[in-house]
């Protein structure tokens, strides 16, 4: 089934004979080694982080079951999935896994409440979790295998991002959740299906041609569709390669391949000051110097808003009120406002990519929840009146505190009607990998998401997800998961 071609023999030998020689290894070589023979140096810590990601991602997907994007897509693909399965949780043994993954990824990302990885400027779990749950359920694999594949997918994304020159790639307009996510998730699906090096290389070559996604669609239903399509394409690539479907086995790094098409122009710089170029030498070990850790969002909006929202929340705790605000300015690092393209939003989806609206909502409501980003909430008069008083700028150096900036930092300065100013700086928002949500806060977010979808808190679901690696059968696990929410969930029928 996993046939070797003459051109893939050397790569197969390389990835099965011990440590990779990074001096000669291409991006495909690294990713193939990662999928086939790499040994995780932090297995216990990585497994725990992965299980937390599954909790968070499924909670976000369940919460999105009544979103228009989820319902429209559910109707569009109704003939390919079971009519009785819950929207936002479309996992079934009698549905095509690639369609299940598409709907699952769309739901996971629909509220923009899912996790973020700084290294890839993307939402890795919204792609990886649906793809691996769909494929793991269809093949009745173990939770341990799913978790192992997930970790490799996260690491793969970081290797690809470093090689592609992620800042320039993103600024060109690519949505890295979809572009990098497609290839990284294919590493994970190839691992889950037990591919050898030859089949893995074919799968990666297919994935390199399928990867796409434009940031112009931020603030529309198509933005979360990117995550679903990436998850689906990772399964398509793996299933085709499993059957012997061929591709250029060096597609990723070849002159007309993935890196060449998606990388910034020569001379562009990465966030660390290094020069971006296609196929930069990045070792697997450099990508996992610590156990994987992702940023779990405290608020259901773009991650570039999170630190500023924290700062406003803290200012509110110190006494600031919406009626007192004359102006409010946010300062972020260069590039820190790139995704926030809606300055006068009129829909809930646009509001998720509007610094002005999100902070207006925080000032008015003292919290940001999924309810904050409905069309009605965005268009309420007091929010629209407050939006013009809020502005954002970027500066090379932070205006207060340390002279160095950290990814996602924000300095918020509020000027009140009586002329007083209050300034607060947040370097890492709550939920960042360096400030992880504790178990109680993670459970609170899980329960909040279920409540938004009109589900009751469920100890059994939460416990099972937090111990996913011990589940012997993903089919049994998924059937129990779906049956536990099906009585109250909205369905396709």
31-49: buried (b, 16+ CB within 10 Å) or exposed (e) per residue?
Answer: bbbbbbebebeeeeebbbb
Beta bridge partners of 413: 329, 423
Pair of tokens at residue 436: 């992880």
Same domain, 194 and 279: yes
- Alpha carbon separation from 84 to 74, 78, 318, 491 (Å, rounded): 12, 10, 49, 6
Q: Tell me whether residue 272 is in a domain.
A: yes
Burial of residue 403 (CB within 10 Å: 0-12, 13-18, 19+) is exposed
Residues contacting 102, CB < 8 A, separation 6+: 73, 77, 130, 228, 229, 231, 232
CATH number at residue 379: 3.30.1330.120
Same domain, 106 and 214: yes
Same domain, 339 and 255: no
Residues contacting 248, CB < 8 A, separation 6+: 205, 254, 257
Cα 233 to chain centroid, rounded: 16
Same domain, 253 and 358: no
- Alpha carbon separation from 129 to 59, 90, 230, 384, 437 (Å, rounded): 12, 12, 11, 37, 19
Q: Of 394, 426, 458, which one is at a domain's C-terminal end?
A: 426
Same domain, 272 and 385: no
The helix-helix angle for 43-63 and 97-110 (nearest 10°) equals 80
Q: How many domains does the chain have?
A: 2
Q: Of 237, 263, 287, which one is at a domain's C-terminal end?
A: 287
Same domain, 245 and 329: no
Specify the 3-state DSSP secondary structure of 131. Answer: helix
CATH number at residue 282: 1.10.4100.10
Q: Of 261, 287, 313, which one is at a domain's C-terminal end?
A: 287
Q: Tell me whether residue 483 is in a domain.
A: no
Per-residue pLDDT tens, the chain, 493 aa: give them. Answer: 443 333 333 333 333 335 566 546 899 999 999 999 999 988 999 999 999 999 999 999 999 988 999 999 999 998 888 776 666 676 777 789 999 999 999 999 999 999 999 899 999 999 999 999 999 999 999 999 999 999 999 999 999 999 999 989 999 999 999 999 999 999 999 999 999 999 999 999 999 999 999 999 998 999 999 999 999 999 999 999 999 999 999 999 999 999 999 998 644 444 444 444 444 556 676 666 666 789 999 999 999 999 999 999 999 999 999 999 999 999 998 888 988 999 999 999 899 999 999 999 999 999 998 889 999 999 999 999 999 999 999 998 888 878 777 766 899 999 999 999 999 999 989 999 888 999 999 999 999 898 888 887 778 889 999 999 999 999 999 888 887 775 555 555 5
Q: Tell me whether residue 159 is in a domain.
A: yes
Q: Tell me whether residue 488 is in a domain.
A: no
Same domain, 283 and 307: no
Q: Tell me whether residue 67 is in a domain.
A: yes
Residues contacting 455, CB < 8 A, separation 6+: 62, 485, 488, 489
Same domain, 235 and 361: no
Residue 224: domain span: 6-287
């Amino acid at each position: 089934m996993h046939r070797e071609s003459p051109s893939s023999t050397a790569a197969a030998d390389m990835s099965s004979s011990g440590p990779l020689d990074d001096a000669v290894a291409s991006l495909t070589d690294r990713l193939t080694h990662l999928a086939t023979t790499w040994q995780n140096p932090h297995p216990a810590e990585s497994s725990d982080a992965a299980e937390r990601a599954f909790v968070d991602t499924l909670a976000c997907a369940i919460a999105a079951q009544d979103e228009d994007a989820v319902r429209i897509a559910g109707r569009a693909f109704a003939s390919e999935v079971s009519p009785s399965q819950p929207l936002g949780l479309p996992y079934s043994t009698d549905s095509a896994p690639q369609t299940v993954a598409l709907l699952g990824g769309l739901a996971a990302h629909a509220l923009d409440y899912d996790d973020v990885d700084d290294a890839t400027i993307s939402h890795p779990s919204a792609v990886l979790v649906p793809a691996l749950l769909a494929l793991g359920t269809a093949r009745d694999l173990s939770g341990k295998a799913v978790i192992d594949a997930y970790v490799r997918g996260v690491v793969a994304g970081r290797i690809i991002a470093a090689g592609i020159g992620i800042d320039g790639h993103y600024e060109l307009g690519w949505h890295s959740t979809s572009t990098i996510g497609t290839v990284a998730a294919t590493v994970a699906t190839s691992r889950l299906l037990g591919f050898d090096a030859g089949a893995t290389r074919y799968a990666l070559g297919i994935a390199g041609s399928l990867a796409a996604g434009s940031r112009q669609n931020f603030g529309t239903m198509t933005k979360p569709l990117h995550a679903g399509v990436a998850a689906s394409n990772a399964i398509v690539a793996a299933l085709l390669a499993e059957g012997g479907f061929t591709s250029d086995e060096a597609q990723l790094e070849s002159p007309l391949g993935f890196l060449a098409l998606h990388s910034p122009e020569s001379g562009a710089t990465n966030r660390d000051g290094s020069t971006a170029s296609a196929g930069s030498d990045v070792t697997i070990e450099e990508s996992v110097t610590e156990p994987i850790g992702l940023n779990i969002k405290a608020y259901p909006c773009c991650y570039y808003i999170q630190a500023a929202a924290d700062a406003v929340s803290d200012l509110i705790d110190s006494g600031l009120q919406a009626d007192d605000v004359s102006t409010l300015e946010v300062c972020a690092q260069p590039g820190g406002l790139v995704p926030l393209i809606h300055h006068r939003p009129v829909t809930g989806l646009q509001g998720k990519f509007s610094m002005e609206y999100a902070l207006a909502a925080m000032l008015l409501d003292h919290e940001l929840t999924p309810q904050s980003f409905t069309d009605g909430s965005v268009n309420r008069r007091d929010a629209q009146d407050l939006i013009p008083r809020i502005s954002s700028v970027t500066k090379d150096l932070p205006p207060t505190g340390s002279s160095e900036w950290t990814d996602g930092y924000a300095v918020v300065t509020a000027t009140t009607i009586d002329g007083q100013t209050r300034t607060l700086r947040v370097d890492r928002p709550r939920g960042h990998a360096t400030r992880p949500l504790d178990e109680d806060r993670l459970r609170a977010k899980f329960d909040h998401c279920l409540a938004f979808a009109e589900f009751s808190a469920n100890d059994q679901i939460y416990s099972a997800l937090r111990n996913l690696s011990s589940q012997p059968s993903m089919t049994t696990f998924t059937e129990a998961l779906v049956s536990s929410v099906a009585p109250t969930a909205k369905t396709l029928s």
